[in-house]
Amino acid sequence: MTDGRSVEELVVGVLGGTGPQGRGLGMRLAAAGQRVLLGSREAGRAEEIAAEVADRALAAAAGAEVSVRGGSNADVAGAADLVIVAVPYAGHAATLADLASPLAGKVVVDCVVPMGFDELGAYLLDVPEGSVALQAAALLPDSTVVGAFHHLSAVLLQDLSRPTLDGDVMVVGDDRAATDLVQALAGRLPGMRGIYAGRLRNAAQVEALTINLVSVNRRYKAHAGIRVTDV
Ligand SMILES: NC(=O)c1ccc[n+]([C@@H]2O[C@H](COP(=O)([O-])OP(=O)(O)OC[C@H]3O[C@@H](n4cnc5c(N)ncnc54)[C@H](OP(=O)(O)O)[C@@H]3O)[C@@H](O)[C@H]2O)c1
Protein backbone atom coordinates (compact mmCIF):
# COMPACT_ATOMS: atom_id res chain seq x y z
CA MET A 1 0.00 0.00 0.00
CA THR A 2 2.72 2.49 1.00
CA ASP A 3 5.71 0.10 0.99
CA GLY A 4 6.36 0.76 4.67
CA ARG A 5 6.91 4.49 4.14
CA SER A 6 5.84 6.83 6.92
CA VAL A 7 3.15 9.39 6.30
CA GLU A 8 5.62 12.28 5.93
CA GLU A 9 7.14 10.58 2.90
CA LEU A 10 3.91 10.21 0.96
CA VAL A 11 2.68 12.36 -1.89
CA VAL A 12 -0.94 13.28 -1.13
CA GLY A 13 -3.25 13.89 -4.06
CA VAL A 14 -6.62 15.63 -3.85
CA LEU A 15 -9.32 14.97 -6.47
CA GLY A 16 -11.38 18.14 -6.81
CA GLY A 17 -8.45 19.91 -5.17
CA THR A 18 -9.45 23.26 -6.69
CA GLY A 19 -12.48 23.64 -4.38
CA PRO A 20 -12.43 25.17 -0.90
CA GLN A 21 -12.08 21.86 0.93
CA GLY A 22 -9.33 20.48 -1.31
CA ARG A 23 -7.45 23.76 -1.31
CA GLY A 24 -7.73 24.05 2.46
CA LEU A 25 -6.54 20.51 3.14
CA GLY A 26 -3.78 20.91 0.56
CA MET A 27 -2.62 24.20 2.05
CA ARG A 28 -2.47 22.95 5.63
CA LEU A 29 -0.77 19.69 4.68
CA ALA A 30 1.73 21.47 2.44
CA ALA A 31 2.53 23.96 5.20
CA ALA A 32 3.31 20.94 7.40
CA GLY A 33 5.78 19.67 4.80
CA GLN A 34 3.59 17.15 2.98
CA ARG A 35 4.05 16.94 -0.79
CA VAL A 36 0.66 17.72 -2.34
CA LEU A 37 -0.91 17.32 -5.78
CA LEU A 38 -4.17 19.15 -6.49
CA GLY A 39 -6.40 17.62 -9.15
CA SER A 40 -9.08 19.10 -11.37
CA ARG A 41 -11.14 18.22 -14.41
CA GLU A 42 -8.97 20.90 -16.09
CA ALA A 43 -5.26 20.53 -15.54
CA GLY A 44 -4.56 24.23 -16.24
CA ARG A 45 -6.98 25.32 -13.52
CA ALA A 46 -5.31 22.97 -11.04
CA GLU A 47 -1.86 24.33 -11.92
CA GLU A 48 -2.99 27.93 -11.29
CA ILE A 49 -4.63 27.07 -7.98
CA ALA A 50 -1.68 24.92 -6.91
CA ALA A 51 0.63 27.92 -7.39
CA GLU A 52 -1.63 30.07 -5.18
CA VAL A 53 -1.90 27.36 -2.54
CA ALA A 54 1.88 26.89 -2.55
CA ASP A 55 2.45 30.63 -2.01
CA ARG A 56 0.04 30.71 0.90
CA ALA A 57 1.40 27.51 2.43
CA LEU A 58 4.96 28.82 2.17
CA ALA A 59 4.04 31.88 4.22
CA ALA A 60 2.81 29.56 7.00
CA ALA A 61 5.38 26.81 6.62
CA ALA A 62 7.81 27.77 9.38
CA GLY A 63 10.79 26.46 7.45
CA ALA A 64 9.18 23.32 6.03
CA GLU A 65 9.79 22.66 2.35
CA VAL A 66 6.58 23.36 0.42
CA SER A 67 5.59 21.36 -2.66
CA VAL A 68 2.17 21.82 -4.28
CA ARG A 69 1.57 20.97 -7.91
CA GLY A 70 -1.57 20.73 -10.01
CA GLY A 71 -2.79 18.37 -12.72
CA SER A 72 -5.75 16.52 -14.09
CA ASN A 73 -7.60 14.29 -11.63
CA ALA A 74 -6.35 11.28 -13.61
CA ASP A 75 -2.71 12.39 -13.43
CA VAL A 76 -3.01 13.11 -9.72
CA ALA A 77 -4.68 9.74 -9.06
CA GLY A 78 -1.80 8.04 -10.83
CA ALA A 79 1.05 10.04 -9.31
CA ALA A 80 -0.03 10.32 -5.66
CA ASP A 81 0.63 7.68 -2.99
CA LEU A 82 -2.57 8.48 -1.08
CA VAL A 83 -5.57 10.24 -2.59
CA ILE A 84 -8.25 12.38 -0.91
CA VAL A 85 -11.58 12.66 -2.72
CA ALA A 86 -12.99 16.20 -2.41
CA VAL A 87 -15.45 16.51 -5.29
CA PRO A 88 -19.15 17.25 -4.72
CA TYR A 89 -21.38 14.22 -4.13
CA ALA A 90 -23.04 14.87 -7.50
CA GLY A 91 -19.74 14.09 -9.23
CA HIS A 92 -18.47 11.42 -6.84
CA ALA A 93 -19.49 8.19 -8.55
CA ALA A 94 -18.57 9.27 -12.06
CA THR A 95 -15.19 10.65 -10.95
CA LEU A 96 -14.18 7.47 -9.13
CA ALA A 97 -15.55 5.09 -11.76
CA ASP A 98 -13.18 6.71 -14.27
CA LEU A 99 -10.17 6.46 -11.94
CA ALA A 100 -10.42 2.92 -10.58
CA SER A 101 -7.32 1.83 -12.45
CA PRO A 102 -4.88 4.59 -11.35
CA LEU A 103 -6.26 4.38 -7.79
CA ALA A 104 -5.74 0.60 -7.53
CA GLY A 105 -3.45 -0.41 -4.67
CA LYS A 106 -3.76 3.02 -2.97
CA VAL A 107 -5.42 4.38 0.12
CA VAL A 108 -8.33 6.56 -0.97
CA VAL A 109 -9.68 8.93 1.68
CA ASP A 110 -13.22 10.10 1.12
CA CYS A 111 -14.47 13.30 2.77
CA VAL A 112 -17.55 13.73 0.58
CA VAL A 113 -20.83 14.53 2.33
CA PRO A 114 -24.12 13.65 0.62
CA MET A 115 -25.85 16.91 1.48
CA GLY A 116 -28.78 18.76 -0.01
CA PHE A 117 -30.34 22.11 0.92
CA ASP A 118 -33.95 23.17 0.88
CA GLU A 119 -36.04 25.83 2.64
CA LEU A 120 -35.52 23.98 5.95
CA GLY A 121 -31.73 23.96 5.62
CA ALA A 122 -29.26 21.14 5.08
CA TYR A 123 -30.40 17.51 4.82
CA LEU A 124 -28.88 14.13 4.07
CA LEU A 125 -29.20 12.72 0.56
CA ASP A 126 -29.94 9.04 0.10
CA VAL A 127 -26.90 7.06 -1.10
CA PRO A 128 -27.85 3.67 -2.57
CA GLU A 129 -24.74 1.95 -1.15
CA GLY A 130 -25.50 3.25 2.37
CA SER A 131 -22.81 5.94 2.48
CA VAL A 132 -20.48 7.81 0.16
CA ALA A 133 -17.50 5.88 1.51
CA LEU A 134 -19.23 2.57 0.79
CA GLN A 135 -20.01 3.85 -2.70
CA ALA A 136 -16.32 4.56 -3.14
CA ALA A 137 -15.42 1.08 -1.92
CA ALA A 138 -17.86 -0.47 -4.39
CA LEU A 139 -16.39 1.54 -7.27
CA LEU A 140 -12.76 0.98 -6.25
CA PRO A 141 -12.48 -2.73 -5.42
CA ASP A 142 -8.68 -2.66 -5.65
CA SER A 143 -8.20 0.41 -3.43
CA THR A 144 -8.39 0.71 0.35
CA VAL A 145 -11.11 3.24 1.13
CA VAL A 146 -11.08 5.24 4.36
CA GLY A 147 -13.55 7.94 5.40
CA ALA A 148 -12.13 11.08 7.09
CA PHE A 149 -11.97 14.91 7.11
CA HIS A 150 -15.77 15.41 6.97
CA HIS A 151 -15.97 17.70 10.02
CA LEU A 152 -13.35 20.28 9.04
CA SER A 153 -14.48 23.68 7.85
CA ALA A 154 -12.90 24.73 4.56
CA VAL A 155 -13.07 28.33 5.79
CA LEU A 156 -10.94 27.55 8.84
CA LEU A 157 -8.58 25.31 6.87
CA GLN A 158 -7.83 28.22 4.55
CA ASP A 159 -7.61 30.84 7.30
CA LEU A 160 -3.89 30.79 7.99
CA SER A 161 -4.25 33.68 10.43
CA ARG A 162 -5.30 30.83 12.74
CA PRO A 163 -2.09 28.80 13.02
CA THR A 164 -3.84 26.04 14.98
CA LEU A 165 -7.09 24.28 14.20
CA ASP A 166 -9.41 22.99 16.92
CA GLY A 167 -10.99 19.61 16.40
CA ASP A 168 -10.67 15.90 15.78
CA VAL A 169 -10.88 13.95 12.55
CA MET A 170 -13.07 10.83 12.76
CA VAL A 171 -11.49 8.09 10.67
CA VAL A 172 -13.50 5.05 9.52
CA GLY A 173 -12.22 2.07 7.59
CA ASP A 174 -11.72 -1.67 7.52
CA ASP A 175 -7.93 -1.86 7.14
CA ARG A 176 -5.96 -1.10 10.31
CA ALA A 177 -2.80 -0.01 8.49
CA ALA A 178 -4.82 2.37 6.31
CA THR A 179 -6.80 3.92 9.19
CA ASP A 180 -3.56 4.30 11.20
CA LEU A 181 -2.00 6.06 8.21
CA VAL A 182 -4.93 8.45 7.78
CA GLN A 183 -4.98 9.16 11.52
CA ALA A 184 -1.30 10.09 11.23
CA LEU A 185 -2.08 12.30 8.23
CA ALA A 186 -4.83 14.06 10.19
CA GLY A 187 -2.34 14.61 12.99
CA ARG A 188 -0.19 16.64 10.62
CA LEU A 189 -2.89 19.34 10.64
CA PRO A 190 -1.91 21.67 13.47
CA GLY A 191 -4.06 21.11 16.55
CA MET A 192 -5.92 18.13 15.12
CA ARG A 193 -5.96 14.44 15.97
CA GLY A 194 -7.14 11.52 13.89
CA ILE A 195 -9.47 9.30 15.93
CA TYR A 196 -10.49 5.82 14.79
CA ALA A 197 -14.29 5.78 14.67
CA GLY A 198 -15.21 2.34 13.39
CA ARG A 199 -15.47 0.20 10.30
CA LEU A 200 -16.40 1.53 6.90
CA ARG A 201 -19.99 0.37 7.45
CA ASN A 202 -20.14 3.15 10.08
CA ALA A 203 -19.24 5.90 7.60
CA ALA A 204 -22.87 6.93 7.14
CA GLN A 205 -23.12 8.39 10.66
CA VAL A 206 -19.84 10.28 10.28
CA GLU A 207 -20.94 11.73 6.95
CA ALA A 208 -24.39 12.60 8.32
CA LEU A 209 -23.00 14.35 11.41
CA THR A 210 -21.64 17.00 9.05
CA ILE A 211 -25.24 18.00 8.32
CA ASN A 212 -25.73 18.74 12.02
CA LEU A 213 -22.56 20.81 12.04
CA VAL A 214 -23.79 22.81 9.04
CA SER A 215 -27.01 23.46 10.98
CA VAL A 216 -24.94 24.60 13.98
CA ASN A 217 -22.98 26.91 11.69
CA ARG A 218 -26.08 28.51 10.25
CA ARG A 219 -27.68 29.15 13.65
CA TYR A 220 -24.54 30.35 15.45
CA LYS A 221 -22.63 31.90 12.52
CA ALA A 222 -19.78 29.50 13.31
CA HIS A 223 -17.47 26.99 11.65
CA ALA A 224 -18.06 24.16 14.10
CA GLY A 225 -15.96 21.02 14.36
CA ILE A 226 -15.98 18.16 16.85
CA ARG A 227 -13.79 16.98 19.72
CA VAL A 228 -13.89 13.39 20.99
CA THR A 229 -13.46 13.45 24.77
CA ASP A 230 -11.55 11.05 27.05
CA VAL A 231 -9.34 9.73 24.25
N1 LIG B 1 -16.46 22.95 2.06
C2 LIG B 1 -16.42 22.39 3.27
O3 LIG B 1 -16.32 23.08 4.30
C4 LIG B 1 -16.45 20.89 3.39
C5 LIG B 1 -16.28 20.31 4.66
C6 LIG B 1 -16.29 18.91 4.77
C7 LIG B 1 -16.47 18.13 3.65
N8 LIG B 1 -16.64 18.72 2.44
C9 LIG B 1 -16.83 17.86 1.26
O10 LIG B 1 -15.73 18.05 0.42
C11 LIG B 1 -16.13 18.00 -0.94
C12 LIG B 1 -15.61 19.24 -1.63
O13 LIG B 1 -16.19 20.39 -1.05
P14 LIG B 1 -15.99 21.81 -1.73
O15 LIG B 1 -16.75 22.78 -0.92
O16 LIG B 1 -14.55 22.04 -2.00
O17 LIG B 1 -16.78 21.50 -3.11
P18 LIG B 1 -16.84 22.21 -4.52
O19 LIG B 1 -16.10 23.49 -4.51
O20 LIG B 1 -18.28 22.24 -4.91
O21 LIG B 1 -16.12 21.13 -5.44
C22 LIG B 1 -14.75 20.87 -5.38
C23 LIG B 1 -14.18 20.72 -6.78
O24 LIG B 1 -14.77 19.59 -7.41
C25 LIG B 1 -14.79 19.80 -8.82
N26 LIG B 1 -16.13 19.46 -9.30
C27 LIG B 1 -17.26 20.22 -9.28
N28 LIG B 1 -18.30 19.56 -9.79
C29 LIG B 1 -17.81 18.34 -10.17
C30 LIG B 1 -18.40 17.19 -10.79
N31 LIG B 1 -19.69 17.15 -11.12
N32 LIG B 1 -17.60 16.12 -11.04
C33 LIG B 1 -16.28 16.14 -10.70
N34 LIG B 1 -15.67 17.21 -10.14
C35 LIG B 1 -16.44 18.29 -9.86
C36 LIG B 1 -14.45 21.25 -9.06
O37 LIG B 1 -13.12 21.28 -9.56
P38 LIG B 1 -12.74 21.43 -11.12
O39 LIG B 1 -13.83 22.27 -11.75
O40 LIG B 1 -11.44 22.13 -11.03
O41 LIG B 1 -12.69 20.03 -11.61
C42 LIG B 1 -14.49 21.89 -7.70
O43 LIG B 1 -13.54 22.92 -7.55
C44 LIG B 1 -17.66 17.90 -0.96
O45 LIG B 1 -18.05 16.59 -1.25
C46 LIG B 1 -18.07 18.27 0.46
O47 LIG B 1 -19.20 17.52 0.89
C48 LIG B 1 -16.62 20.06 2.28
Ligand 1 contact via 125 beta carbon (within 6 Å) = no
pLDDT digits (tens, 9 = 90+) for 173-199: 999 999 999 999 999 999 999 999 999
**Residue 84 belongs to a domain:** yes
Substitution candidate for ligand 1 out of 73, 87, 110, 212 with most atoms within 8 A of CB:
87
Q: How far is the CA of 21 from the centre of ligand 1 (A)?
A: 7
Structural contact between residues 66 and 27, judged by C-beta atoms closer than 8 angstroms: no
Residue nearest (by alpha carbon) to ligand 1 atom 9: 112
Residue nearest (by alpha carbon) to ligand 1 atom 22: 19
What DSSP line would sit under 42-110, residue for residue?
A: SHHHHHHHHHHHHHHHHHT-TT---EEEEEEHHHHHHH-SEEEE-S-HHHHHHHHHHTHHHHTTSEEEE
pLDDT digits (tens, 9 = 90+) for 54-84: 999 999 898 889 999 999 999 999 999 999 9
The reported pLDDT for the residue numbered 218 is 96
Buried b (16+ CB within 10 A) or exposed e, 174-210: ebeebbbbbbebbebbeebebbbbbebebbbebbbbb
Ligand 1 contact via 22 beta carbon (within 6 Å) = yes
- Atom of ligand 1 at shortest range from CA of 15: 24
- Atom of ligand 1 at shortest range from CA of 113: 47
Ligand 1 contact via 87 beta carbon (within 6 Å) = yes
* CA atoms of 121 and 48, how far apart (whole Å): 34
Q: How far is the CA of 231 from the centre of ligand 1 (A)?
A: 31
**Residue 60 belongs to a domain:** yes
176 lies in which domain range? 7-220
**Residue 46 belongs to a domain:** yes
Ligand 1 contact via 14 beta carbon (within 6 Å) = no
Ligand 1 contact via 88 beta carbon (within 6 Å) = yes
pLDDT digits (tens, 9 = 90+) for 95-139: 999 999 999 999 999 999 999 999 999 999 999 999 999 999 999
- What's the one-letter identity of residue 146? V
**Residue 161 belongs to a domain:** yes
Q: Look at the chain and report how many structural domains it folds into.
A: 1
**Residue 57 belongs to a domain:** yes
Residue 53 maps to which CATH number? 3.40.50.720
**Residue 197 belongs to a domain:** yes
**Residue 226 belongs to a domain:** no
Q: How far is the CA of 20 from the centre of ligand 1 (A)?
A: 7
Sheet containing 144-147: give its strands across.
Answer: 67-72, 35-40, 11-15, 82-85, 107-110, 144-147, 167-173, 192-196
**Residue 230 belongs to a domain:** no
CA of residue 208 relative to chain centroid, distance? 16
Ligand 1 contact via 90 beta carbon (within 6 Å) = yes
Residue 213 has pLDDT above 90, yes or no: yes
